[in-house]
Structure 1
């Protein structure tokens, strides 16, 4: 029996090749989209789950309030994890971890490696695969390092065992002993490292000394995180915890998708995008299934005679339903195979959206096979059920008389097509809003000149700095040089909070930029009042810290009296936050903020448009020797100027690579995740449009079939091609308009929520919805015209011959 169903299904598909191809293409594209998004979602959800201990590993976070709002921070007091291990038996191991760059000397050249610094228990919490060495001893000695397999192969080619070898650290000016080799760290973890460095703070708990490292603990199998966290409160008073602070446990497996603190080791994902893209995948599949239903019923009248003959020969309703369900299942199997091929072919596009981690994303595995089987069974059944019931109701007498009327609920089918265009409209609007916001990001003035500006990490701290800068200034293509603590898009440098003098429920937070006197001029920041720093003014170039150290050694130290002499320049936000007006030589003594105000600059966005411009204090450090070196160059002869800088760099710092980046490129990278979202929305919007148009084509085809004699009569009575085209198309265009009316508030709500992630963003204007509606109407009109014009131009004799 099933063999017979299979043969009939294959004949039916081949007989109606055009409709079968359209159906096949729509479903295959939908299934390919599902496969690719499913691979992306599985990868994102797999972060930090490869460790055997991962269910019991937690990162310590500090929950506090910033201006009345809850804030999560990672810069916990030093020595905190050690206290927990001492006080609570449930804590079996802990590790302090930080990340950074390790500069090593290899074959006479400087090489920069990604580094994790970790205390000895690190491998008890995170059991990476050891290829050489023993994990329990790997970080037992200070200055030991564990390197990855690819690092070992790159720098020690042909050496079977590198344990006992050493690498030379340029920063530490010493050899580091290799104590182990691990398999390369996978991409689906919040760590990224070529080298893991043995390091331990070994500091007592100090609530005034906040550590910039992340702290992790391992709980035993019997412990419950919520219970342990509640027990932690019992020692708050004993160790002098500030009343506004609470320590929380964050599961390591939730860091990637749920944590977005300022001090994350890696750029994290976001769970909301998992929900968004999973929903898009299901919606696209839903749109494709609607197409199958519409196109199947659209051509069902052509099978009426076949069904009538089968009923005459004794076929019952159940057998007819089974036949059409078999066709549906077979069709979905074929579509799944084609969808898998399309997904494989289109996977490089997904790789471009995900980035380097895509090489570890598995497109086909057991989960994807189960997912496809589930889709075939569920959607194959649901998509085939409605057409099978409609077709099985055809009466034999109607077939013989030639008066077949399908029990097809045209209103339901129109609703389904409207749903398709609602989904399409939402995706079009979202894509337009995202690209408008990205355009806004690119064109917004940041308060400093980001063009023709290069940034170079600079940690020399030697006597050559001033000479090096003077050598560069001799070149006509170099317009300015400065060294500052501010790294554009990353951080300003130091920061501090202090009590709000007017509202005790809030605090003031200041960002400090330590820079040399050329900073404001080189960065192109506008001085609104007062003056800029100047090397010719003695008070600007005094080394206040050095003077204080000398006074303290002589027993005459008054920290406040010395620090208030430091010249500072405030931005608009800093003055507004404190509620004071600018005054020349205004002395400020507020907590960590001490200095004499000599100028006021306009607000400048030093991080990104996701964050509000903070209160910034610029402190002059006449001989700033570490941080970021910014060099402003002429737009003419850029390559020659860069070659000159590199030549001078090699003369002064032969062991260091000239690792520069253009600031505007660095700032663009800050929005890479937003660009990926825009690209994915755009891609799936196009797919949804294509699939929805196939559905519209199916519906207009059904309408033409049902009204073929009416069209013939109208042509005989003098109706033009334009009249008939309008007659057939207008109701569907009305459907599209109604769909856009429904889609607009949905899209507005989604994009309004998305834009809330930006402190500075566009307003969603009416013309975006009008443009999206215009795009939808144009695409729908072209699709409808293709079929309706063909019907309007047909010879009426053919349709009226039997009358």
Structure 2
């Protein structure tokens, strides 16, 4: 019986090739989209699950008093994990970690790799797989270095890497003591090597005092993390935790998608994007299935007589249902195979464009194959159920006489088209909103000129910086240079917390920025009042570091007086924060930022527009040589100017890698996830409208078939092609318009929620909905016109011959 069902199903597929290809493509493209989106979602959800201990691995979070800007932070007081391990047997192991950029000379070039700071306990906790050496001894000695397989093959091809020595830019020798399998890319603690670090001999444990770093613990197999979290408070008094300060556990599997705390390393994604992507996948699947149902039932008129004849010849309803479900499963199976081919072909481009990963992530694993089979079964049942039950219910007498009614069929199909266009409308409006917000970010006035501004990262206090800058200025296309502790999108240099004057229970994060005299000239930040730092003023020549050295041994009153006389320049946000009135020049600040205001600058946004502009306090630091060197260049001869800068860097700093980027490129990096979302909306809103129009084409085909005699009579009575086209299309265009009335508030709600993540955002204006509606109606009209004009131009004799 099944063989017969399959044979008939294949015959029906081949009988109407144009219909089959149209239906097959719509379903396959929809399924391919779902496969690719779910591939990305699956990969994001797999972060930090490659470790066999991942269910027992936790990172410590430090809780600070409510209202603090760092109320929760992964930057924990040094030795915190060791203290907790000592007090609580439920903690099996602990380790402190971070990341180090190792730079060294290789074959005459400066190269670098990212290394994880660690110790033997870290190797045990994250159970890296050793190819050479072992976890117990690999990081025991200072200067030990464990390489990944790919890094070892890159720098020691054809050699045994064990015992090899890498001398970094600081002349520190690092001995290779082990080789491990490559660390998976889907981990928050990624790197190409692990270097030994020993924190045991550093300062004693003191909460909120001294150093702080990222720390991990491995719990015993029977430990309950919730109970352990609650028990931590029992030792707070013993170790002098300040009021409101504590510690809690965070699963490492939560870090990538659910961790955006103060002090977090860049690179984390957000669980909300997983929800958005998953929702889009579900919507695309709905549109594809609705499209299949619409086109299948549109074709039902052609098979009505076949069904009636089968029933007359004794076919049971359950046999007809089985036949149509078999056709549905066969169609879905072929569509799924085609979808897999399409997904494989497009995956490298999709992976790079949407995920932003430098390497192509795996599209399938055993779990995704099972999910694909589940989609096949559910899709085949859901999409095939209505056509199967509807067509099998037709009465043979009415069908064979040609008087069968398809009213319910048409009403349901109209409802499905509305659903399709509601989904399409939400995606199209979302695309316009995301695109407009990204354009707003791209063109917003940030308070400084990002065009033709270069940023060179300067790690430690580099020697010869003054001579290097003087050499750069010898080039006529280098207009100005200045070093600052501000690194675009990363840090202003230092942070201090100041009480919020409007709410004494909260603290506001303020930034301390050390700058040179030419900072404003280089960045074009506007001076609003007073003056900027200048060598003409004696105190401007004293750096904050020098001031601290001079004043640290003074009595408290003398130190306060001395440091309060140090000049500072503030931005307008700082003036507002401090509640200063009238002329602020010369006013003495005695909060955590101590000094005398000599100038006020315009607010400038050196971070993301997701966040509000911070109050900034600028201090003079002549000959600063760490943070970022800003170079303002001419718009002419850009390539030659950059080549000149590179050559001078190589001359002055042959052992240091040059990290040079344009300011606008650095700013765009802050919105990578938002750009990906915009790309996703653009791609899939276009796809949704195409698939929805295929469904619309199916509905117009059914309408024409049901009204073929009516159209013939109207033509005989003198109706024009235009009037018949309008008659056929008007009802369906009303459906499209109705769908936009429904989709507009839905789209507004979700896009307004998304925009709330931006401190600086656009307003969702009425014309966005008007444009989206007009574009969709235009596309729908073209789709409808193609079929309705053809019907209106048909010879009425053909349709009325049997009357």
Bin for the TM-score computed over the shorter chain: over 0.9
Gapped runs of 5+ residues in structure 1? none
1:239 counterpart residue number? 239
Closer, same or farther: CA 801–483 of 1 in aligned 2, 3 Å: same
Distance 1:242 1:692, change over 3 A: same
Tell me if structure 2 keeps the 8 A contact 1:495–1:512.
Answer: yes
Aligned to 2:179: 181
Output one character per residue of 1:593-626: Cα deviation in whole Å (capped at 9) or x when no partner: 1112110001000111011000101110112111
Q: Please say if residues 452 and 632 of structure 2, whose CA atoms lie closer than 8 Å, have aligned partners that are also in contact.
A: yes
Map 1:738-753 onto structure 2 (within 5 A).
738-753=738-753
Alignment correspondent of 1:484: 484
CA contact (8 A) 2:501 2:577 kept: no
Aligned to 1:780: 780
Contact map agreement 1:298 1:699 (CA 8 A) in 2:
yes
Query: Partners in 2 of 1:313 and 1:300 — Cα distance?
Result: 19
Gaps of 5+ in 2: none
Equivalent residue for 1:164? Answer: 163
Deviation at 1:765, TM superposition (A): 0.4
Q: Contact 2:500/2:507 (CA < 8 Å) preserved in 1?
A: yes
1 CA distance for matches of 2:788 and 2:554? 97
User: What are the within-5 Å matches in structure 2 for residues 540-689 of structure 1?
Assistant: 540-543=540-543, 545-546=545-546, 548-550=548-550, 558-581=558-581, 582-591=583-592, 593-689=593-689
Q: Relative to structure 2, which stretch is displaced further, 354-363 or 789-798?
A: 354-363
Q: Shift of the alpha carbon at 1:645?
A: 2.0
Report deviation, 1:68. Answer: 7.3
Deviation at 1:571, TM superposition (A): 0.4
- Aligned-partner Cα distance in 2 for 1:278–1:506: 37
Deviations 1:308-361 (A, max 9, x none): 221222112111111111111111111111111111111122122245647452
Output the CA distance in 2 between the equivalents of 1:517 and 1:212. Answer: 32
- Are the counterparts in 2 of residues 526 and 601 from structure 1 also a CA contact under 8 Å? yes
Change (3 A) 1:403 1:498: closer
State which drifts further: 370-379 or 539-548. Answer: 539-548
SS in 2 for 1:121: helix
**Per-residue deviation at 1:266?**
4.0
**3-state DSSP class of the match of 2:736?**
helix
Q: 1:655 Cα shift?
A: 2.0
Worse-matched range after superposition: 482-491 or 505-514: 505-514
Mapping 1:105-504, distance limit 5 Å: 105-160=105-160, 162-171=161-170, 173-202=171-200, 203-209=203-209, 211-355=211-355, 357=357, 359=359, 361-406=361-406, 408-459=408-459, 461=461, 463-500=463-500, 503-504=503-504
**Which stretch of structure 1 is more off in the superposition, 260-269 or 616-625?**
260-269
Q: Could you say what secondary structure the match of 1:391 adopts?
A: helix
Contact 1:588 1:595 in 2 (8 A): yes
CA 1:359 to 1:626, structure 2 compared with 1: closer, same or farther past 3 Å?
closer
**Aligned residue number for residue 722 of structure 2:** 722
| 211 and 765 in structure 1: CA distance in 2 versus 1, 3 angstrom threshold | farther
Q: Distance in 2 between matches of 1:7 and 1:460?
A: 75
1:496: Cα distance to partner? 1.0
CA distance in 2, matches of 1:306, 1:420: 30
For the structure 1 residues 70 and 638, does the alpha-carbon distance in structure 2 shift closer, same or farther, using more than 3 Å as the test?
closer
**Whole-angstrom distance in 2 between the partners of 1:551 and 1:374:** 72
Counterpart in the other structure of 2:54: 54
SS of structure 2 residue aligned to 1:112: strand
- CA, structure 1 residues 180+538, in 2 after alignment: closer, same or farther (shift >3 Å)? same
Question: How many residue pairs get matched?
Answer: 800
Deviations 1:729-778 (A, max 9, x none): 11111111110011011111111111111110100000001111111101
264-273 or 37-46: bigger deviation = 264-273
- Call closer, same or farther: CA 1:512–1:143 in 2, change over 3 Å: same
Q: Is the 8 A contact 2:29 2:342 kept in 1?
A: yes
CA positional deviation for 1:362: 2.2
Q: Is the 8 A contact 2:55 2:251 kept in 1?
A: yes
What whole-Å deviation, never above 9, does each CA across 1:444-471 have from its counterpart, x for those lacking one?
Answer: 0100111111111124635522222222
- The 3 A distance-change label for structure 1 pair 620 and 384 is same
In 1, are the aligned partners of 2:69 and 2:507 still within 8 Å (CA)?
no
SS at match of 1:711: helix
Secondary structure of residue in 2 paired with 1:209: coil
- C-alpha distance in 2, partners of 1:246/1:663? 39
Q: CA deviation at 1:718?
A: 0.9
Q: 1:116 to 1:757 in 2, by over 3 A?
A: same
Specify whether residues 783 and 665 from structure 1 end up closer, same or farther in structure 2 by C-alpha distance, changes over 3 A only.
same
CA contact (8 A) 1:109 1:656 kept: no
Deviations 1:139-191 (A, max 9, x none): 2222212121122111111113x2222111213x2211111111121110002
Aligned-partner Cα distance in 2 for 1:685–1:446: 31
For residues 652 and 277 of structure 2, the distance between their equivalents in structure 1, rounded to whole angstroms, comes to 51
Is this contact kept in 2: 1:422–1:740, CA < 8 A?
yes
Q: For the residues of structure 2 that align with 1:375 and 1:401, how far apart are their CA atoms?
A: 40
3-state DSSP class of the match of 1:528? Answer: strand
* Structure 2 CA distance for partners of 1:733 and 1:355, relative to 1, 3 Å: closer
CA contact (8 A) 1:108 1:655 kept: no
The alpha-carbon distance between structure 1 residues 502 and 760, as it changes in their structure 2 partners (threshold 3 A), is closer
CA contact (8 A) 1:733 1:777 kept: yes
Q: Cα offset for 1:210? A: 5.4
1:73 is matched with 73
The 2-side partners of 1:585 and 1:141 are apart by: 55
- Residue in structure 2 matched with residue 102 of structure 1 by the alignment: 102
Query: What is the TM-score of this pair, normalised by structure 1?
Result: 0.96
Between the aligned partners of 1:551 and 1:167, the Cα distance in structure 2 is 42
State the Cα deviation string for residues 57-104 of structure 1 (Å, max 9, x = none). 111112335647883212222221111011111111111111232222
Distance 2:390 2:355 in 1: 48
- How far, CA to CA, are the matches of 1:123 and 1:241 in structure 2? 30
1:185-232 CA-partner distances (Å, limit 9, x unpaired): 111000221232211222322123354521111110111111000000
CA contact (8 A) 1:94 1:122 kept: yes
